[in-house]
Structure 1
Amino acid sequence: MVEDDVEQRDLLELWVTSGKHTVESFGTAAALTQALAVGRFDVLILDWLLPDGTGADVLQWTRHHLGWALPVIVVTAREDEATVVSALKAGADDYVVKPAKPMELLARIEAVVRRVQPAGIPVLRVGAYEIDIAQHRLFVDRLPVAMTQKEFDLSVYFFQNPGKLFSRDHLLDKIWGLNADIDTRTVDTHVSRLRKKLRLGTATGWTLSSVHGYGYRFDRTDNTAES
């Protein structure tokens, strides 16, 4: 959640936590985008007017870097039609005018989560690995692995596309987004981390091999069965 008014932020935090949610709050757009770049969140609650930018700026950054998987609810005192339309066109999933009502806000949070995380999303099990796509959790030999959002997304993409050769540019566009302001060395860094975190090798039955000057391929090293 990003809200620059401390009293409003404390009140919204109280309401959200009363619904058995965990909330992390920020007072500026810059602090929020820094957190979004490295962490994983299920919902973004966004004030429209911020000290260092607007809700439109945050929405543009979010959709450009994270795509449409993260639902965004704008909570603001602005109730004019032009602002509501601007927010929805910029990528907001819902719009709530202050003063918000606690039960209604909680219901709206649950509604947007249902839309982006519908029931029935499978758990991917491959040998020693278990990947809960809906909950963004990955286990190796039933032990949880601590991962950043991008590490998790890259892992899922590899497991869903075994044996395929991907260029660094393709992986950069697919995981970080088109025109991401980073270079392909970021892919190399993440691959290096995944090899360690996923304990890739003979013991787990998978390897992540590099193709010189091109990219990476995720392959089985044994006859591990998928379920």
Structure 2
Amino acid sequence: MDQARGLVVVVEDEPAIADVERLYLARAGFGVHVERDGAAGLAAIRRLRPVAVVLDVGLPSLDGIEVCRALRAEGDWTPIVFVTARDDEVDRILGLELGGDDYLTKPFSPRELVVRLRGILRRQHGPPAPVRELGALRIDETRRRVTVHGEVVALTATEFDLLARLVSAPGRVFTREQLLSSVWGQADYGGGRTVDVHVAQLRAKLGDASPIVTVRGVGYGTSESGRSGEVVT
């Protein structure tokens, strides 16, 4: 089996679902390690240092939200795709706010899981990109590194991709659908609320250095001056 794409840790307590995820990820060229409960999954992620994690929310011993919380608190920003049987917006938003990169609700297509995962990793390891500076904010797209006043700001893969997209065209306004398409890979995923949550997270992490502006009734952009604010249309 070709494992050149790296190892993915799958944490899923339903054997049938775990087996399908393992099969499709292996076919896509990933190595796969499966754990059945949250505590074992957390230990495996710490030990194996995978390229990505597929994480069920409803797990024995330690749920997926707590696993994600523990990893992010340790400074581990390995991409996480949440999988859950619960189609509750509160669950989805909480997972994203804690640092999840994507979210799938059961039942889902295993092919879609592979596509989502590939998209996250492709954006992380794409061709060399420029360094952009907006005021105190510096975005090194090649190293995928963001600093404010020289201090590194920890972002998830999706948060970084969203910020990079917004600053790619200062002064341009992107609709939520355009951002969903270019960052998440499909325009209808999760609705505009998904974008709103990630923008709120970026603003909280970047503080006064955030260049993101809101255009009411349209979407988001970045100011040419690098100053955050709200534009009333």
**TM-score, with structure 2 as normaliser:** 0.49
Specify which structure has the bigger relative contact order, considering alpha-carbon pairs within 8 angstroms and separated by 6 or more residues. Answer: 1
Q: TM-score, normalised by structure 1?
A: 0.50
